[in-house]
């Protein structure tokens, strides 16, 4: 199979990078930590705790959980093998050229650490959803490559045991990232990834252990992967048969609010004029909310993110309800003075959000483009 072959080739190159790179890298110059040791493992576990677990608001024994974190960190940090660790080895960081050779990018966060972590990162990537047969077979292929390049045999039983521990660490680090980006920064593409990550962890827990006893940690994970929690993070989504079309428009208040062509008689209208206007500055007057510099201005110098998070909360309620009830139309309008900067940015942002979260059909229109300053 071609895809399997590319995974195998990537893991072979990974082993080469880890072993040969280890002899070339000056770890004192690492960007974050020089070593993925006990403290770094604890940091990943606490990242999961603060940005996902605590956000659930469920009771648990905090001290006993920290004790289990300490025990697991100690166990995994005393690994027999430490080489160059890529740190974020996933499919989007693997480039394939026209000769089908693989190349790696985005390893600036690399450090000295356990090689199992990188293998876990690739094989357990939630959106890749590799079947278990492939995961097991590719792990064997990787260990074959590792032994060949290192020139010495592995204790495969110990290697596998610690590999499973690193699988869990990686899955929880990713879940923490989804929690931070989704629950705190309110980015829909990360929210919709949470059920996938939870299902991945649930399957892992049902079929593997991490090599040591961590009872409170296991109780906490059982809460996280319960059907109720997974359902909580699984939004209703549109299908090909869903009739709903969300019409999103940007407009200029000088030209008036767009007319809703459906039978609803109107929809949401959000006034963006309370957000600092980039159009007041010469550098942005002839640009629009589609341009990167305007986007940067709105994201970094205004309260646009706060405004849109509130918009998302309001509109999400209606979209979810309309999908469930089989309604066909919802209109959302964003207005500003000229219909060129703030309203355009907001309309684009909502369209992305709804598409990512609900997979709903979108009709996006910027109604005042003919009057934009150019």
Q: Looking at residue 192, what is its pLDDT?
A: 84
Average pLDDT of the chain is 94
Q: What is the pLDDT of residues 93-144, one digit of tens each?
A: 999 999 999 999 999 999 999 999 999 999 999 888 899 999 999 999 999 9
Query: Residue 120: its pLDDT value, please?
Result: 96
Q: What is the pLDDT of residue 155?
A: 92
Nearest to 13 by CA among 92, 101, 109, 83: 101
Instruction: Convert the pLDDT of each residue in 276-309 to its tens digit.
Output: 999 999 999 999 999 999 999 999 999 999 999 9
Locate the domains of the chain by residue range.
2-232, 245-371
* pLDDT category of residue 369 using cuts at 50, 70 and 90: very high
d(CA 285, CA 290): 13
**For the chain, percent of residues with pLDDT exceeding 70:** 100
**DSSP 8-state assignment for residue 289:** T
Q: What is the predicted pLDDT for the residue at 126?
A: 83
Q: What pLDDT sits at residue 6?
A: 97
| Cβ–Cβ under 8 Å, residues 258 and 343 | no
Q: Look up tokens 């934009």; give the residue.
A: 372
CA pair distance 35, 132, nearest whole angstrom:
30
Residue 94 host element (H or E): strand 94-96
Provide the sign of the torsion angle of the four alpha carbons 136, 140, 141, 142, taken in this order: positive
Residue 273 neighbours by CB under 8 Å, 6+ apart: 253, 335, 336, 337, 342
Sign of CA dihedral 295, 299, 304, 308: positive
Among 345, 340, 367, residue whose Cα is nearest residue 259: 367
pLDDT-derived band of residue 24, with 50, 70 and 90 as boundaries? Answer: very high
pLDDT-derived band at 271 (thresholds 50, 70, 90) equals: very high
Please state the rounded mean pLDDT for residues 31-45: 91
Question: Helix, strand or coil for residue 330?
Answer: strand
Q: What is the percent of the chain where pLDDT is above 90?
A: 86
Domain boundaries 2-232, corresponding CATH code = 3.90.1200.10
pLDDT at 361: 98
Question: Is the per-residue pLDDT at 80 higher than 80?
Answer: no
Burial letters 332-371, b for 16+ CB under 10 A, else e: bbbbbbbbbbbbbbbbbbbbebbbebbbbebebebbbeee
The pLDDT tens digits for 323-357 are 999 999 999 999 999 999 999 999 999 999 999 99
- pLDDT given for residue 127 in this prediction: 80
Residue 360 · residue 296 · CB < 8 Å: no
Quick check: 51 pLDDT over 90?
Answer: yes
């Amino acid at each position: 199979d071609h895809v399997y072959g590319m995974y195998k080739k990537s893991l072979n190159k990974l082993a080469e990078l880890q072993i040969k790179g280890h002899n070339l890298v000056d770890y004192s110059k690492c960007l974050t930590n020089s070593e993925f040791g006990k403290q770094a493992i604890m940091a990943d576990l606490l990242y999961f705790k603060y940005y996902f677990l605590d956000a659930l608001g469920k009771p648990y024994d905090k001290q006993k959980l920290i004790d289990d974190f300490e025990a697991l960190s100690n166990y995994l940090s005393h690994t027999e093998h430490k080489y160059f660790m890529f740190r974020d080895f996933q499919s989007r960081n693997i480039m394939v050229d026209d000769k089908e050779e693989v190349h790696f990018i985005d390893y600036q966060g690399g450090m000295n650490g356990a090689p199992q972590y990188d293998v876990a990162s690739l094989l357990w990537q939630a959106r890749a959803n590799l079947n278990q047969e492939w995961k097991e077979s590719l792990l064997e292929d990787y260990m074959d490559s590792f032994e060949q390049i290192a020139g010495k045999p592995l204790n495969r039983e110990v290697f596998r045991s610690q590999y499973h521990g690193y699988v869990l660490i990686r899955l929880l680090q990713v879940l923490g990232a989804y929690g931070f980006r989704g629950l705190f920064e309110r980015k829909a593409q990360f929210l919709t990834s949470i059920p996938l990550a939870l299902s991945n962890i649930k399957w892992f827990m049902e079929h593997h252990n991490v090599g040591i006893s961590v009872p409170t940690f296991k109780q906490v994970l059982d809460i996280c992967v319960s059907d109720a929690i997974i359902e909580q993070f699984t939004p209703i989504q549109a299908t090909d048969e869903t009739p709903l079309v969300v019409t999103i428009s940007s407009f200029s208040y000088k030209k008036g609010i767009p007319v809703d062509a459906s039978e609803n008689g109107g929809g949401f209208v959000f006034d963006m004029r309370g957000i600092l206007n980039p159009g007041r500055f010469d550098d942005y007057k002839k640009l629009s909310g589609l341009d990167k510099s305007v986007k940067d201005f709105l994201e970094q110098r205004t309260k646009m993110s706060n405004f849109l998070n509130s918009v998302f909360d309001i509109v999400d309620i209606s979209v979810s309800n309309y999908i469930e009830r089989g309604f066909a139309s919802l209109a959302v309008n964003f207005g500003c003075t000229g219909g060129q900067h703030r309203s355009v940015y907001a309309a684009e942002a909502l369209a992305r959000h709804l598409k990512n979260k609900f997979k709903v059909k979108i009709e996006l229109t910027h109604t005042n483009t003919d009057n934009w300053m150019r």
